[in-house]
Structure 1
Amino acid sequence: MGKFSDKYYLNKAKLLKQLIEKSYKKGNFTLSSGKKSSHYLNCKPVSLNGEGLNLISDLFLELKDSRSKAVAGLTLGADPIVSGLIVKAASQGLGLNGLIIRKEIKQYGTKAGIEGPNLEEGTLVTVLEDVVTTAGSVIKAIKKLRENNYVVEEVLSIVDRQEGGLEALEDENVKLKSLFTIKDFL
């Protein structure tokens, strides 16, 4: 059936059903990018649910570049996904670290902008995101990781809204791999 397992396609169908029921709304919305939209996706009701997070983690584990030694994301949207994926990897005996990127560097203690284990310079890191619109926030995460001498080649997202994010990431030499696009919800 392709490069993915049968379980992958089954889990993908289950996840889409949950997202449609719990995360998708139609109306008039302003997105974090500032754009207006008649479609709104908030994946947190699914990613903060045990079954939903388990599905996302299974799917992302299969989608992720096997060379990647860590996953990272900008707080808050990526926090549950990063945690879910590293736990899922550990349960399968796979070594995978997680990094959480702060929106603002804390002004006390170590003044860290990235939380998590200290990894070697040049470590390949996969960035996780729930919804990509213009990719503005995910590009901030990529830049912060690169400033700390990590290598970023891919972003995994639950949904690509297809509003320029793919192209913006290509400009950063990063590949976007999304489980779904906005068309799956229409």
Structure 2
Amino acid sequence: MNQLNTSLDGMKENLLTLLAQEAYRFGDFYLASGKKSSHYVNCKPVSLSGPGLLSISSLFLKNLNKSDSGVAGLTLGADPLVSGVVMLAAQSSINLSGLIVRKESKGHGTGAWLEGPLPPKGSVITVLEDVVTTGGSSLKAVEKLRTQGYLVNQVLAIVDREEGGVDAMSKADLNLKSLFFLKEIVEKAKSLQ
């Protein structure tokens, strides 16, 4: 195994530990999807830390397609993800645009839904997501991007809760790739107790 893969494997293992320690909670929670759950994952304490964002960005960059012109995501969870991947790509001489999809159009100026350097219409964009439950947030971002003339074929997520996201993405002609499944984070959290 070459050094890069070994390094990425190590990053993935370290990221799993960070998520289990800093992002995962057990209790009674209502999710953005409206569902009730005993498991809650808030990736922001990890994605907004230097080591966490470096690992996430490296692993996401590895999973992008060569045809991708940019990465995008719905604000707020995807903001650090988009920024981290774009910065790491630039350091690797890979030209990627970073787009943030607003939840509402800008109330002034141009009324824009998208922020960032807009690639030409028809460009391929991958959507980045922190946690996928039913896929609703990702699909909102995809809809806005497709409406603006971009091709979106893939969603990359840090965590898939395995609660319908894959099916929802498939129905929208999207491939969902996740770094981790919720069960992996739960198992790691239990092992660290």
TM-score bucket of the superposed structures, by smaller chain = over 0.9
Partner of 1:109: 109
- Equivalences for 1:32-43 in 2 at 5 Å? 32-43=32-43
Q: Which runs of 4+ in 1 moved over 3 A?
A: none
Give CA deviations for 1:18-49 in whole Å, capped at 9, x if unaligned. Answer: 00010000000000000000000000000000
Give CA deviations for 1:33-92 in whole Å, capped at 9, x if unaligned. Answer: 000000000000000001110010010010111211100000000000000000000011
Partner of 1:86: 86
- How far apart, in 2, do the equivalents of 1:14 and 1:64 lie? 21
Partner of 2:180: 180
Partner of 1:138: 138
Per the TM alignment, residue 118 of structure 1 is displaced from its structure 2 partner at its CA by: 2.3
Q: Which amino acid aligns with 1:46?
A: V
- Aligned-pair identity in percent equals 52
Per the TM alignment, residue 107 of structure 1 is displaced from its structure 2 partner at its CA by: 1.6
Q: Which amino acid aligns with 2:10?
A: L
Partner of 1:151: 151
Partner of 2:170: 170
Tell me if the contact between 2:97 and 2:118 (Cα under 8 Å) persists in the aligned partners.
Answer: no
Per the TM alignment, residue 126 of structure 1 is displaced from its structure 2 partner at its CA by: 0.3
Tell me if the contact between 2:69 and 2:119 (Cα under 8 Å) persists in the aligned partners.
Answer: no
CA RMSD after TM alignment = 1.2
Per the TM alignment, residue 185 of structure 1 is displaced from its structure 2 partner at its CA by: 1.9
- How far apart, in 1, do the equivalents of 2:107 and 2:183 lie? 42
State which drifts further: 164-173 or 7-16.
7-16
Partner of 2:53: 53
Tell me if the contact between 2:159 and 2:179 (Cα under 8 Å) persists in the aligned partners.
Answer: yes
- How far apart, in 2, do the equivalents of 1:167 and 1:157 lie? 15
What SS does structure 2 have at the residue aligned with 1:69?
strand
Per the TM alignment, residue 106 of structure 1 is displaced from its structure 2 partner at its CA by: 1.2
What SS does structure 2 have at the residue aligned with 1:59?
helix
- How far apart, in 2, do the equivalents of 1:119 and 1:58 lie? 22
Unaligned runs of 5+ in 1: none
User: How many pairs were matched up?
Assistant: 185
Partner of 2:77: 77
TM-score, structure 2 as length reference: 0.93
Per the TM alignment, residue 6 of structure 1 is displaced from its structure 2 partner at its CA by: 2.1
Give CA deviations for 1:116-149 in whole Å, capped at 9, x if unaligned. Answer: 1121111000000000000011101000000000
TM-score, structure 1 as length reference: 0.97
Tell me if the contact between 2:68 and 2:125 (Cα under 8 Å) persists in the aligned partners.
Answer: yes
- How far apart, in 2, do the equivalents of 1:66 and 1:183 lie? 30
Partner of 1:123: 123
What SS does structure 2 have at the residue aligned with 1:89?
helix
Q: Which amino acid aligns with 1:44?
A: K
